[in-house]
Amino acid sequence: MSQAFTKSMARNIFFGGTVFFFLLLVALTVDTMQVLPKRDHRENITPAVERGKMVWEKNNCIGCHTLLGEGAYFAPELGNVYQRRGGEFIKVWMQAMPTKAPGRRQMPQFNLTPQELDDLVAFLKWTGEINTAKWPPNIEG
């Protein structure tokens, strides 16, 4: 480059970059506002799903597990556990805890009633149906 970098060149790069990234922000916002309503499935919330969320919260499941990528990373992601394992597996697993297998992390026994187990499974099934654009990426949680 034969000429020196001047203040006016720097100013033009700054303002040009500012305009470009502002327009990019607007475009991404418009795209998000068009895509998100198509992914919404709030109309599928049943009373069992609501009760299952209350079981989830009452037992602080998010203190160990992640759900849709949010929560603690001590135990597996549960956003897709219903699709991976099924509802009956979840119920049997919850009732069998702790397994006392050596060298494994152990989940406490919450002594959930059959109704609470059904509600928790309904909640996990509902969360598994959310279109998360394949997030989190790990299939096994």
Alpha-carbon dihedral angle through residues 60, 129, 50, 41, given to the nearest 10 degrees: 130
Instruction: Render pLDDT for 66-119 as a digit per residue (tens, 0 to 9).
Output: 998 899 989 889 988 999 999 999 999 999 999 888 888 889 999 999 999 999
Strands in the chain per DSSP E: 66-67, 70-71
Residue 101: count other Cβ atoms within 10 Å of its Cβ: 8
Higher pLDDT, 138 or 81: 81
- 111 sits in the region (left: phi over 0; alpha: psi -120 to 50; else beta) called left
Asked if 128 and 83 touch (Cβ cutoff 8 Å), the reply is yes
pTM tops 0.85: no
Q: Give phi and psi for 114, each to the nearest 5.
A: -55, -35
Asked if 141 and 67 touch (Cβ cutoff 8 Å), the reply is no
